[in-house]
Amino acid sequence: MVPIMPEIDIGAVKSRRDMVRFLDGYSLERKEELDERKSKRPLVKTQLLEVLDGSHCRPGEDYSRVFERRGLRLKVIDHDLYGVRDDKGQSIGFLERLSPRIVALYSMLESKHLTPAVRRVVIGSSELDWVWLSGLTFSVLWDLVVKLSPPGRFAKLVFTHHSVYEVDEELEEADTEEELTEPQEESEDTATVIERRAARFQLIDRIHVVSERLGALQRTYSPLYAISQLRFPSPAGRGGHDFYENGRVTNRSVSFRDHRLHVLFVSRIYEQLLGRTERQAWYSVQTSLKTPGEFRKIIGAPLTVQFVEPLSTTTFEQWIKSTFERSRNRFRLWGHPIRLGPTKVHVYGLDRHLWQPIFLELTAKGCLAIIPNGTCGNTVQRLVTNIQRYLDPSAKVFLGGQRYEEMVQEASTSISYDSLE
Amino acid sequence: MTALNDLIADPLFQLNSLLWLTQPLPAVSSIRPLLLERGFVVHAIGPLLPLPPDIRLALADLSIATQGSARPDAVLRRDRDMRYGLVECKGKAFGTKSSTAAQARTLVIAAGSQMAEILGLAADEVQGSVAAYWVPTQAGVEMHETLGLLHGELADAKIACGTTCVLGLEARKDAIYLVPDDVAGEFFGLGKTPLPYLFIEDDNDPRPLYFIPYDPDSCRSPGDDKYCKRILFERIQATVLGAAGRATPPAELRFQAEDLLNSAMLGSYGLWENRDSAKHMRRLVRQLLADLEKAVCTEVAGVLSYVETAGWVLRIENEASQERVCSALAKYTPEAIDLSQDPQPGLFDDAPDL
C-alpha cells in the first residue's frame, strides 16, 4: 500500500519545538522540490477548525474526547499539542490548540486524502466546524497583505461564485453539500453544459498592480468580490501561505514557523470576529440591574444582508426550495418557511450543523437574521460565505448598523503583538 | 388592504413593530428604526408598575376605577434628555366605561410626576414622560377623546397625571406608516407628518420577524392567532430538535414547559403573571409535544414520552438512533395541528412546570 502520508513516528516528536523543527525541515525540502518542479511528497497543510461544546460556544476541557467521537485518536505531545492518528492507526498529523476556540490540524496528507478525512470528522459533529472566511473577510485580509508585503511581491487571489439557484431549465441540479476547497478539474469529456453564472478566476500579479486595480475591477464585475483564496507572501523567501475559505491553509513557503505565524495571526483575527459578532448580535431578554426580575429589555443587533443584485422570483423560489426541502443543503439550515408573499419567507429554524437556533427573514432583496443568545458566531460567518458564493458576490452585510468589513477591520487591529507567540 | 388593516390592529404585531423601531438597522433595511434614530431605546418590556401608596390612598376615596398597578407593553427611554414613554398597544379604541379604562387611568397616573419613583429611578433621572397609545389611525380620534376624558376626570379629582398621546398606525400601499398626534410628534421627535417605517415590497406581507411570538392576553383575528401560534410551535420544535442534535449519546433529555416557552420567547414567558394565560401556554406546549411524540415514535418507538415527575423525556441511545430521531423531529411540521383550535383543559394544568 502506498503510504498516504510520509510516515513519521509521532512518538519521536516530544515537544512543540520538535514538531516545528520537523515540519520546518520538511517544508524546506518540499519547497526545493517545488522550485525544481519535481515535488514528490505533499506540502504541509493546516486545517483550522472551531471547537464548541455545542451549547455555550465554549470548548470543553478535554479535546481528545471531541475528536475521539469522530474517529480520531489524540495523544498528548506538549501543552495544547497532540499527535493525531485515525482509527486504523494511520498518522494524520498534529493538532494544536491555538486559542480557546480554534485548533489547527497540521498535516502532510495529500489534499485528496486530507479533505475527505476532515469532512468525515466535521460533518456529523455539532462540536466541530470549519473556520469560514467569507469574501468580505478576505477583502480585509487582502488589505493586510498589501500592508505587510513589499509592493513588488506577487499576490495570488482566487475568486469563486456559482449562481447555483439560477434555474437552468435544461438541467435541475440537486442541491447537495459540497466542500469549499481546492476544486477538482472537471473532465473535458464528462463536463455538463450548465447555463447560469459561474465564475472562477485565479489572479497572480504584483501586489501594487492588484492593489491599484482590484476595486475598479470589482465594481465592473461583481463575482470579483467573492474572494475564495488568498496568499500571504512569506517574508522568509519565495512563495507564501494560501488561505482557503473553509479554513484550509497550504504552506508554499520554505518555513513552517512562518506558516504557523500566519495561521496564528488569521485565527486570532477570526476569533476576535466571532467574539464581536456574538457580543453584538446575540438577542436575549435581559433583566435590568436596577430592578432585577422586573424590568426586561431586548438586547442584540440583527444581521442584515442586502443583495446588490436582487434575485429573480424563480431564483428566490429555487433557493428556498433547495435550502428547506433538502436536509443536506448548502446553507446547512433547517426550518419550515412561512410564506409571506412571492418573494418573502420567515423561518424560525436552526443551523443544522451546530443545531443552534436562528430566525431568518429571506427575501429577493436580502436576508435579515436574529441570532438568539448562545448561537455561535460561526453560523453568521458560514451564512455570509455561502451568500457571497452562491447568491450575490457583492452582497452588503451589516451587524446592527455597522458594516461587516468594519468589524473585520476592528478585529484585525485589535491583535496585539504580545498575543502572537 | 383589509388584511393589512387587520394586521395593524393586532397588538402582537404592534409590539413587535415597536421593538423593531428601536433596533439598530442599516439604511438599506426594509424597516426604518424611527424611534432609535431619535435616540429612543427599550427601557423595559411589559414591566409591572405599581402606583405609590399615597396615590392609591387618594384614589381609594374616589369612585374612579383604577388598578393598583399596571403593565404597559413597553417603556421607551431617551438618555440625552431623560425622557420616558409608557407605550400600550391596542387594536381598537375603548371608552371611559370599558374595563380597559381602569388600566388606562393607572398608566396616565404612572406617567405623571411620580414616574421616576415608579420606575425606581432618582427624581432627577426623569425629565419628561408620557403615556402613549399605539392604535390604528382609524381608532385615533376616539382614542384621543377617551384619553382626554380620563385625564380630565383625574385632574378634576386632583390626582396628578401625566401627558397622554396617540401614535397611529396606517397601512398604505407602499408601507406601514407611523402617524403621531401633535404631542407624540413633539415628545418622540417624529414631527407632524406620517412616516413610513415598514416598507412593502413585491406585494409581500410586511410583518417583521417576531421577537415575542405569542400573547394569550391580546385579542387577534383568527388568522393572526393561527400565525402567532405557528411561530411559537416552530420555535419550540426547533428547541427540541436543537437539543437532540447537540446531545452526545447515550443521553436522556428532559423538556419542561416553562423552559421550552422561555427558550421560544427569548426569556419573556416568565413575565406572565396571569395564571390562566400561563396555564393556556403550558397547554399549548403539551398539545405540540403530544403531537410530536406521535410523529417521532412512529419512526423510533418509545423515544419520547411524558413522565409525570420529569416532563417530556427524549432518550437517545446511540448515534444511529440520534440520526433517526433528528430526522423524524425535523420532518414533523406543526402545520399538521389544527391551529385554529385551542387545546382543551387537561389533568396537569395546575402542575407548575409540566
Q: What is the pLDDT of residues B18-46, one digit of tens each?
A: 999 999 999 999 999 999 999 999 998 88
Verify that A265 and A289 share a domain, yes or no: no
What pLDDT, on a 0 to 100 scale, did the predictor assign at position A327?
77
Higher pLDDT, A99 or B271: A99
Yes or no, beta carbons of A283 and B30 under 8 Å apart: no
CA distance to A2, A72, A91, B319, per residue, from A88 (Å): 15, 9, 9, 20
What pLDDT, on a 0 to 100 scale, did the predictor assign at position A184?
44
What pLDDT, on a 0 to 100 scale, did the predictor assign at position A53?
60
Using an 8 Å CB-CB cutoff, list chain A residues near B271: 296
Q: What CATH number does residue A325 fall under?
A: 3.30.310
Using an 8 Å CB-CB cutoff, list chain B residues near A359: 209
DSSP state of B35: H
A293: left (phi over 0), alpha (psi -120 to 50) or beta: left
Verify that A117 and A69 share a domain, yes or no: yes
Number of CB pairs < 8 Å for A and B?
153
**Weakest mean pLDDT among A63-72, A85-94, B242-251:** A63-72
What pLDDT, on a 0 to 100 scale, did the predictor assign at position A2?
41
B350, amino acid identity:
D
- Tell me, what's the ipTM? 0.91
Q: What is the CA radius of gyration of chain B?
A: 23
Distance from CA of A126 to the nearest CA of B (A): 6
Distance from CA of B246 to the nearest CA of A (A): 6
Yes or no, beta carbons of B241 and A350 under 8 Å apart: yes
Among the partner residues A340, A360, A373, nearest to B204 by beta-carbon distance: A340
Verify that A164 and A31 share a domain, yes or no: no
What pLDDT, on a 0 to 100 scale, did the predictor assign at position B99?
87
Chain B from 228 to 257: CB within 8 A of any A CB = 230-231, 234-235, 238-239, 241-246, 248
Verify that A218 and A352 share a domain, yes or no: no
Chain A from 216 to 275: CB within 8 A of any B CB = none
Distance from CA of A399 to the nearest CA of B (A): 8
pLDDT tens per residue across span B195-237: 999 999 888 999 999 998 888 777 667 777 888 889 999 999 9
What pLDDT, on a 0 to 100 scale, did the predictor assign at position A182?
44
As a whole number of angstroms, the distance between CA B16 and CA A243 comes to 42
Adjacency order of strands within the sheet including B40-45? A284-287, A296-299, B40-45, B74-78, B83-89, B128-136, B163-171, B175-180, B195-199
Among the partner residues B246, B266, B267, nearest to A355 by beta-carbon distance: B246
Please count the helices (runs of H) and the strands (runs of E) in chain A: 9, 21
Band of residue A179 on the pLDDT scale cut at 50, 70, 90? very low
Whether residue B263 is predicted with pLDDT greater than 50 in this model: the reply is: yes
* A418 within a domain of the structure (yes/no): no
- The answer to whether A344 faces chain B, any CB pair under 8 Å, is yes
Contact A86, A74 (CB under 8 A): no
B302: left (phi over 0), alpha (psi -120 to 50) or beta: left
pLDDT tens per residue across span A133-142: 999 999 999 9
Long-range contacts of B52-60 (CB under 8 A, 24+ apart): B52/B114, B52/B117, B52/B118, B55/B109, B55/B114, B55/B159, B55/B160, B58/B157, B58/B158, B58/B159, B59/B159
Using an 8 Å CB-CB cutoff, list chain A residues near B47: 294-296
If you search the block for the grid coordinates 431586548, which residue do you land on?
A298
- Per-residue pLDDT, averaged over B254-274, amounts to 80
- Per-residue pLDDT, averaged over A191-207, amounts to 78
CA distance to B42, B204, B226, per residue, from B207 (Å): 20, 9, 15
What's the mean per-residue pLDDT of chain A?
Answer: 85
Verify that A322 and A397 share a domain, yes or no: yes
- The answer to whether A285 faces chain B, any CB pair under 8 Å, is yes
Q: Which of A99, A114, A130 is the last residue of a domain?
A: A130
Among the partner residues B209, B267, B333, nearest to A368 by beta-carbon distance: B209
How large a percentage of chain A has pLDDT more than 90?
A: 57
Verify that A248 and A340 share a domain, yes or no: no
Max alpha carbon distance in chain B (Å)? 74
Band of residue A421 on the pLDDT scale cut at 50, 70, 90? very low
Distance from CA of A285 to the nearest CA of B (A): 6
As a whole number of angstroms, the distance between CA A261 and CA A409 comes to 19
Count the domains in chain A. Answer: 3
Verify that A289 and A221 share a domain, yes or no: no
What pLDDT, on a 0 to 100 scale, did the predictor assign at position B344?
64
pLDDT tens per residue across span B96-147: 999 899 999 999 999 999 999 999 999 999 999 999 999 999 999 999 999 9
Verify that A308 and A396 share a domain, yes or no: yes
What pLDDT, on a 0 to 100 scale, did the predictor assign at position A55?
45
* A167 within a domain of the structure (yes/no): yes
If you search the block for the grid coordinates 409535544, which residue do you land on?
B289
Whether residue A292 is predicted with pLDDT greater than 50 in this model: the reply is: no
Whether residue B74 is predicted with pLDDT greater than 80 in this model: the reply is: yes
Q: A200 CB contacts (<8 Å, ≥6 apart)?
A: A158, A159, A160, A161, A183
3 state SS for A22-37: HHHHHHHHHHHHHHCC
Among the partner residues B24, B238, B248, nearest to A400 by beta-carbon distance: B24
Yes or no, beta carbons of B246 and A288 under 8 Å apart: no
Q: Which of A129, A346, A362 is best to mutate for the B interface (most B CBs within 10 A)?
A: A346
What pLDDT, on a 0 to 100 scale, did the predictor assign at position A295?
65
Yes or no, beta carbons of B45 and A54 under 8 Å apart: no
Verify that A152 and A262 share a domain, yes or no: yes
Whether residue A288 is predicted with pLDDT greater than 60 in this model: the reply is: no
Q: Which residue of B has its CA nearest to A127?
A: B246
Rounded to the nearest 10°, the torsion over CA A260, A264, A267, A271 is 160
Yes or no, beta carbons of A290 and B44 under 8 Å apart: no
Using an 8 Å CB-CB cutoff, list chain B residues near A294: 44, 47-48, 120
Which residue spans within A114-214 are E strands per DSSP? 128-130, 154-162, 198-206
What pLDDT, on a 0 to 100 scale, did the predictor assign at position B138?
95
By residue range, what is the domain housing residue A351?
281-403
What pLDDT, on a 0 to 100 scale, did the predictor assign at position B52?
95
Using an 8 Å CB-CB cutoff, list chain B residues near A350: 238, 241-242, 245
As a whole number of angstroms, the distance between CA A243 and CA A403 comes to 23
Verify that A274 and A169 share a domain, yes or no: yes
Whether residue A167 is predicted with pLDDT greater than 60 in this model: the reply is: yes
- Per DSSP, the three-state class of A259 is helix
* Residue B80 grid coordinates: 440625552
Whether residue A262 is predicted with pLDDT greater than 60 in this model: the reply is: yes
Using an 8 Å CB-CB cutoff, list chain A residues near B119: 295
**Weakest mean pLDDT among A43-47, A287-291, A405-409, A411-415:** A287-291
What pLDDT, on a 0 to 100 scale, did the predictor assign at position A4?
53
- The answer to whether B267 faces chain A, any CB pair under 8 Å, is yes
Q: Which residue of B has its CA nearest to A356?
A: B242
Q: Which residue of B has its CA nearest to A55?
A: B246
- The answer to whether B19 faces chain A, any CB pair under 8 Å, is yes
* Residue A273 grid coordinates: 470576529
Phi, psi of B131 (to 5 degrees): -110, 115
Band of residue A61 on the pLDDT scale cut at 50, 70, 90? low
* A237 within a domain of the structure (yes/no): yes
- Size of chain B in residues: 354
* A46 within a domain of the structure (yes/no): yes
Distance from CA of B24 to the nearest CA of A (A): 5
Q: What is the CA radius of gyration of chain A?
A: 22
Q: Which residue of A has its CA nearest to B207?
A: A340
What pLDDT, on a 0 to 100 scale, did the predictor assign at position A322?
92
Q: Which of B15, B22, B30 is best to mutate for the A interface (most A CBs within 10 A)?
A: B30
A179, amino acid identity:
E
Yes or no, beta carbons of A284 and B266 under 8 Å apart: yes
Verify that A139 and A275 share a domain, yes or no: yes
Yes or no, beta carbons of A341 and B203 under 8 Å apart: yes
What pLDDT, on a 0 to 100 scale, did the predictor assign at position A54?
41
* Residue A387 grid coordinates: 451568500
Q: B39 CB contacts (<8 Å, ≥6 apart)?
A: B78, B79, B80, B189
Verify that A291 and A164 share a domain, yes or no: no
- Per-residue pLDDT, averaged over B86-99, amounts to 94
**Weakest mean pLDDT among A60-64, A154-158, A249-253, A369-373:** A60-64
